């Protein structure tokens, strides 16, 4: 028998979370909500949605996402091979490559599979200008509004835009859109409003669709401004998988359901005397007589090694806590709240019926995104409808 660890992936939760984003966009369009300042007027139509499926759909599997995100308007990712996989899985809609292309020979792959490219640097424009004739590509010219990761500086943007428009006139590019990415949409509305204003100031008078909002900006209605035009595309990622982009708002509170659930079982139970240590380094010592359980899950499965004593975990439906240092293949839990639990008892490390991935991440001083992406390949996956 294989080790009793398993990652369940819920197709219906992924569908639900996309519908929840659609519902919020529809509701937002009808209200005067939105990032303040400034008070905003709603755009005429709700934004289109790029479902972000980079990193193998945040660890959930690209093929699962292609099926469950059928109601999205497009998919966004960054690996050319993943884009080809999405086509092979049957995705016929738009695909946005968030880092564009990397070398001249990639352009032929983009044309063959009808992929849209983010253009973030002048080298990419050089490659397009020097490319052989072929079918026109959709492109999104990226503005750097302050993250200083990818994108043209505000002072260089219009010149890049003009080169992209010239490529459009030559038939190398089809639609040319405007794109950016916020650095603090999850935690600072003032910075985000200033970054949005920078986008509006720099791209004023340029036409083409707009794509600026990740999950946090989408859920905070940052798209909600008629000045951004009526062809917007939001780019939610983590919220589709049931993670919260915010440190202080839970995914459940946002109406999201976990897509991944990491299950395991107790391998063993021990009665400890007061003073007995648990695990490597004796980082937990029993303050009184107590029972502990040993769970088949460790850092080689993707559980964070830095999770401290007290990190939440659910055993037989009862919430309890991690004890001692996480080892490669096992971790220990407090069984005092579940005195009847024996070897074989079910354990949920995170997800449906257990703590949220964000709670475990917070305890381990990271974010749910990292844990979702890091479940190890050795953990068997099972799709649940
Ligand atoms: C990852 C990413 C997103 C999605 O971010 P979430 O916080 O997961 O919603 C959107 N846009 C870009 C450019 C990204 O890299």
What digits encode the pLDDT tens for the residues 166-196?
Answer: 999 999 999 999 999 999 999 999 999 999 9
For the CA of 186, the nearest atom of ligand 1: 7
Q: pLDDT tens digits for 248-301?
A: 999 999 999 999 999 999 999 999 999 999 999 999 999 999 999 999 999 999
Domain 260-384 has CATH 3.30.110.40: no
Tokens of 200: 């509006």
Whole-number Å distance between alpha carbons of 300 and 24 = 38
Residue nearest to atom 1 of ligand 1 (CA): 237
State the pLDDT at residue 45: 78
Ligand 1 binding pocket includes 238 (Cβ within 6 Å)? yes
Q: Are strands 331-334 and 290-295 parallel, antiparallel or unpaired?
A: antiparallel
Tell me if residue 176 falls in helix, strand or coil.
Answer: strand
How confident is the model at residue 43, as a pLDDT?
67
Q: How far apart are CA 133 and CA 309, in angstroms?
A: 61
Q: Which of 219, 297, 221, 207 is nearest to 5 (CA)?
A: 297
Which residues are CB-neighbours of 264 under 8 A, at least 6 positions away? Answer: 4, 5, 6, 295, 296, 297, 346, 347, 349
Would you kindly state where each structural domain of the chain is located, as residue ranges?
Answer: 11-247, 260-384
Paired tokens of 370 = 């990292």
- Number of H helices and E strands in the chain, helices first, is 11, 18
Antiparallel, parallel or unpaired: β 346-350 and 260-272: antiparallel
Question: Does the C-beta of 180 come closer than 6 Å to ligand 1?
Answer: no
Choose the CATH number for 11-247 among 3.50.50.60, 3.20.20.10, 3.30.530.20, 3.30.420.40: 3.20.20.10
**For residues 312 and 256, what is the distance between their CA atoms, to the nearest angstrom?**
20
**Number of Cβ within a 10 Å radius of residue 173:** 23
Contact 268, 340 (CB under 8 A): no
* pLDDT value of residue 35: 58
pLDDT tens across 323-334, in order?
Answer: 999 999 999 999
The atom of ligand 1 lying closest to the CA of 215 is 9
Residue 44 burial class via C-beta count within 10 angstroms: exposed 0-12, middle 13-18, buried 19 and up: exposed
Q: Is 120 in the pocket of ligand 1 (CB under 6 A)?
A: no
Which atom of ligand 1 lies nearest, measured to the CA of 218?
9
Most ligand 1 atoms within 8 A of CB, residue of 52, 195, 219 to mutate: 52
Q: Pick the catalytic residue from 54, 241, 303, 369.
A: 54
How far, in Å, from the CA of 186 to the mean position of ligand 1?
12
Query: Is 60 exceeded by the pLDDT of residue 7?
Result: yes
Pocket mutation for ligand 1, best pick of 186, 235, 240 (most atoms within 8 Å of C-beta):
235
Look at residues 98, 84, 100, 90 and name the one whose alpha carbon lies nearest to residue 69: 90
Three-state SS at 263: strand
* 241 counts as catalytic: no
HEC profile of 280-302: HHHCEECCCCEEEEEECCCHHHC
pTM: 0.95
pLDDT at 309: 97
Residue keyed to tokens 């595309």: 233
Atom 4, ligand 1: residue with shortest CA distance: 237
Q: What is the pLDDT of residue 33?
A: 61
Q: Does the pLDDT at position 37 exceed 50?
A: no
Is 280 marked active-site? yes
Mean of all residue pLDDT scores within the chain? 95
Distances (CA, A) of 94 to 34, 117, 285, 297, 375: 27, 11, 56, 39, 28
107, 128 in Cβ contact below 8 A? yes
**121-180 confidence digits (pLDDT tens):** 999 999 999 999 999 999 999 999 999 999 999 999 999 999 999 999 999 999 999 999
Ligand 1 pocket residue status of 237, Cβ below 6 Å: yes
Which atom of ligand 1 is the closest one to the Cα of 238?
Answer: 8
Which tops the pLDDT comparison, 177 or 32?
Answer: 177
Q: Give the pairing type, strands 48-52 and 6-10.
A: unpaired
Extract the tokens encoding 18: 């996309």
- The DSSP result for 133-144, as a single string, is S-S-EEEEEEE-
């Amino acid at each position: 028998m294989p080790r009793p660890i398993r990652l369940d992936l819920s197709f219906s939760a992924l569908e639900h979370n996309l519908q929840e984003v659609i519902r919020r966009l529809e509701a937002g369009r009808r209200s005067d909500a939105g990032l303040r300042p400034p008070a905003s007027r709603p755009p005429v139509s709700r934004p289109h949605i790029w479902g972000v499926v980079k990193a193998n759909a945040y660890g959930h599997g690209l093929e699962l996402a292609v099926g469950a995100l059928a109601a999205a308007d497009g998919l966004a990712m960054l690996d050319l091979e993943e884009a080809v996989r999405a086509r092979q899985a049957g995705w016929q809609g738009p695909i946005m490559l968030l880092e564009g292309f990397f070398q001249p020979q990639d352009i032929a792959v983009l044309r063959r599979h009808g992929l849209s490219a983010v253009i973030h640097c002048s080298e990419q424009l050089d490659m397009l200008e020097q490319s052989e004739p072929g079918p026109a590509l959709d492109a999104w010219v990226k503005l750097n509004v302050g993250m200083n990761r990818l994108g043209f500086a505000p002072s260089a943007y219009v010149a890049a835009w003009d080169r992209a428009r010239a490529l459009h006139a030559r038939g190398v590019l089809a639609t040319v859109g405007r794109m950016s990415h916020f650095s603090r949409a999850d935690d600072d509305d003032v910075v985000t409003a200033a970054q949005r204003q920078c986008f509006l100031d720099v791209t004023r008078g340029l036409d083409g669709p707009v794509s600026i909002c990740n999950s946090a900006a989408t859920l905070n209605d940052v798209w909600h401004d008629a000045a951004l035009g009526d062809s917007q595309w939001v780019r939610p990622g983590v919220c589709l998988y049931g993670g919260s982009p915010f440190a202080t708002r839970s995914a459940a509170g946002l109406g999201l359901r976990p897509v991944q659930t990491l299950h395991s079982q107790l391998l063993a139970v021990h009665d400890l005397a007061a003073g007995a240590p648990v695990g490597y380094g004796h980082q937990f010592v029993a303050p009184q007589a107590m029972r502990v359980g040993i769970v088949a899950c460790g850092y080689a499965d993707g559980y964070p090694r830095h999770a401290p004593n007290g990190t939440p975990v659910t055993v037989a439906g009862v919430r309890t806590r991690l004890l001692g240092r996480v080892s490669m293949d096992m971790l220990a839990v407090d069984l005092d709240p579940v005195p009847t639990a024996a070897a074989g008892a079910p354990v949920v490390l995170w997800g449906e019926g257990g703590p949220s991935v964000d709670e475990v991440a917070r305890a381990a001083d990271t974010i749910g995104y990292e844990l979702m992406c890091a479940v190890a390949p050795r953990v068997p996956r099972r799709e649940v409808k």
